[in-house]
Amino acid sequence: MRSAEPLVQIRGLEVHFPHKVAWPRVERGSLRQRLRRAFTRRSAVVRAVDGVDLAILPGETLGLVGESGCGKSTLGRAILRLLDPTGGAILFEGDDITRRPQAALRPVRRRMQMIFQDPYASLNPRMTIGETLSEPLEIFGLARTTGERRERVGALLEKVGLRADAIARYPHEFSGGQRQRIGIARALAVEPRFIVCDEPVSALDVSIQAQIVNLLLDLQAAEDLTYLFISHDLEIVRHVCDRVAVMYLGKVVELAPAAQLHAAPKHPYTQALLSAVPTLDPATRRRRILLDGDVPSALDPPAGCPFHPRCPVRDKPAACFDELPPLRRLENGSLAACHVAR
């Protein structure tokens, strides 16, 4: 039975990046001075993550989906403090780690790990697999002698489905799927409780994706792991995740159990995303919803609901244009940030 207390909780999390304003070429004089003063007063920031509230329970997999550029990966990195948040709070195991200096984060680092999207770029090509997996063991003092480290590395490789004799080989000697297994082994090396899986199968062949997904599920059951599973593939998310959060322009716009979200999406953006998922079953096939225009810039998000310029709902209420919708509970228990959803 899962604990009711969240393992990870974020409250009003913000990650804003400063945006460099291009200076216009203006002749010298009072006009140039006025323009400079005007640009100096302007606060230009990219709102990559803009006030997100989430709670992840021990042992569950929370999916995070949305279009490219919506802030999914930025949110995952901020939770692990690989990026410093601009505002809000991050609580891990009940402790606020939002403002801890990097030196004080070291004990937390062991319990929070990440699996990266690109299994080749995330591995040092100059280090053997044995060196890659031994490094975190040495840093955290989990294996003090060479023999202990070698034994633990061999066990890690076997745990992710690789032969122990891979210890002396380099990353380029492995396939993409094998490299991702090594990345998973590196995340497991320090015995974490929580892992952010940042699109862990998107760079792999379709034939390999299912193997890696099943490996993650098996490891979760065996090691009692908690996942934040970031992906743009809604079918994989439905298979892997207990609950799913949908992001749009730096905000969570819907949060629901995975099966419920797929069966009855409430936010118009979620409905549009799911309508694009191909299916061979006529009973589950949805009418395709095409969204107008592009995603607005996170540098200058629209007033009111951030989705209203592309929302397919006809006769939208005035609140859509003027008021930011809160993430509220609907009749079926889902959470949605929408003035129209019921």
Q: How many domains does the chain have?
A: 1
Classify residue 138: in a domain, yes or no: no
* In-domain check, residue 70: yes
pLDDT attached to residue 230: 97
Q: What is the pLDDT of residue 22?
A: 58
Question: Is residue 228 situated within a structural domain?
Answer: yes
Q: Identify whether 29 is part of a domain.
A: yes
pLDDT at residue 34, as a whole number: 59
Rg of the chain over Cα atoms, rounded to whole angstroms, equals: 23
Residue 133 lies in a domain: no
- Domain membership flag for residue 216: yes
Residue 257 belongs to some domain of the structure = no
Yes or no: say if 143 and 194 are a contact pair by the CB < 8 Å rule: no
57: containing domain:
8-111+192-251
Residues of the chain with pLDDT under 50: 1, 41
List the CATH number of the domain containing 43: 3.40.50.300
Segment 215-223 long-range contacts (CB within 8 Å, at least 24 positions apart): 215/160, 215/161, 215/181, 215/184, 216/184, 216/240, 219/159, 219/160, 219/184, 219/188, 220/59, 220/61, 223/188, 223/191
> d(Cα 41, Cα 52) in Å, to the nearest integer?
27
Predicted pLDDT of residue 281: 64
pLDDT of residue 40: 52
Q: Is residue 58 part of a domain?
A: yes
At 315 the pLDDT is 87
